[in-house]
Homo-oligomer: A and B are copies of this chain.
Amino acid sequence: MAGAAVGGVAIGAIGGYSFLTPKETIIEKEVEVPQEVPEHPWTYTKLNVDAVQKRAYEAYFQGGCCYSVFEGVIGELREQVGHPFTAMPTKMAVFGGGGIKGWGSTCGVLTGGGMAINTVTGGATINELMGWYTETDLPVYAPETALKVEGDIAKSVSNSPLCHASVTNWSNASGFAENDPSRAERCARLCADTAGKIVEMLNAEADGNFAPVFQVPDSVIECGACHGKEGPVNNVFAKMDCDTCHGDAHPN
């Protein structure tokens, strides 16, 4: 609380009467009001890719893949920017781990990544993130201090946004069981790669030079000729590579 005396006293005398203008003391009193949470989307501030990758890598071992990427990006904004990111309970993303509670559906890095991106933008970069994830040989990230398994980790291309497809492809490529410690190490590094990719894209978007490169797989176009909007059997709405699961479904 701060007090400041301003104003003053004027004294005069007219016709034997003494009079004063009263001395006025103005006291400024600080009243605490909670900061208003801004409208969605919250303003993004460019982040350091290395710092976000490290945060995501470490967070994986605290709350799994979906939490890792959400905390990697939003946690770094919380530290660098503060309000309103201090209001976001990033642990709400734990659910997405293992393709939602171990169901093997969408890989949690994409769910947590979507949540992070969509907190600060309309989300134009999410489509690019999905494409990048499905077509890139991952993981690339090499931690300074490995938390589970040291040394190189085998890479693989998921050809799918799904957790179980991604894990099985990696398991087949590496020769390690899905519950081997090196699989957890692989997923932690994949989290770092994904959080880093997000920040690269958001930084580029902030600079006005984000340039998406992803094109939908050929199978989506080929199968879509019958099963898509313009086809006679218009019953599929997707951008996932059809061949990954339905390669043997029926001849094209």
Chain A residues in the interface with B (C-beta under 8 A): 9, 13, 16-20, 22-37, 39-42, 82-84, 86-96, 98-106, 110-111, 114-115, 117-119, 122-123, 126-127, 130, 161-164, 167-168, 171-172, 177-179, 229, 234-240, 245-246, 248
Q: How far is the CA of A167 from the CA of B130 in the complex (A)?
A: 20
Instruction: Indicate if the CB atoms of B100 and A126 lie closer than 8 Å.
Output: yes
Considering the complex, give the chain B residue whose CB is closest to the CB of A114: B95
Knowing A19-B18, A29-B26, the reply to whether A237 touches B34 (Cβ < 8 A) is no
Q: Which single member of B40, B88, B163, B238 contacts A103 (CB below 8 Å)?
A: B238
Residue of B29, B105, B117, B171 touching A95 (CB-CB under 8 A): B117
A115 to B27, CA, bound (A): 43
* Chain B positions within 8 Å of A22 at CB level: 9, 20, 22-25
Q: A29-B31, A167-B237 are in contact. List 4 more A-B contacts (CB 8 A).
A: A22-B25, A34-B36, A35-B37, A106-B111
Give Cα distance in the complex from A17 to B86, angstroms.
60
In-complex Cβ contact of A238 among B24, B40, B117, B164 (8 A): B164
A94 and chain B: residue at smallest CB distance: B118
Looking at the complex, which one of B24, B34, B126 makes contact with A82 (CB distance below 8 Å)? Answer: B34
Give complex CA distance A110, B101 in Å. 11
User: Contact at B161–A105, with CB atoms within 8 Å?
Assistant: yes
The residue in chain B whose Cβ has the minimal distance to the Cβ of A119 is B92
Is the pair B34, A103 in contact by a Cβ cutoff of 8 Å?
no
Q: How far is the CB of A75 from chain B (nearest CB, A)?
A: 13
* Choice from B24, B31, B39, B123 contacting A33 with Cβ under 8 Å: B31
CA distance A103 to B65 in the complex (A): 20
Chain B residue at minimal CB-CB distance from A34: B35
Are B104 and A237 interface neighbours, CB within 8 A?
Answer: yes
A sample of 8 cross-chain residue pairs with beta-carbon separation below 8 angstroms, ordered by A number, consists of A24-B27, A27-B28, A34-B83, A37-B86, A102-B239, A104-B240, A167-B236, A178-B235
A236 touches B92 (CB 8 A): no
- B126–A86 touching, CB < 8 Å: no
Whether B31 contacts A31 by the Cβ 8 Å rule is yes
Q: Which of B17, B27, B32, B100 contacts A27 (CB 8 A)?
A: B27
**How far does the Cβ of A227 sit from chain B's closest Cβ, in whole Å?**
8
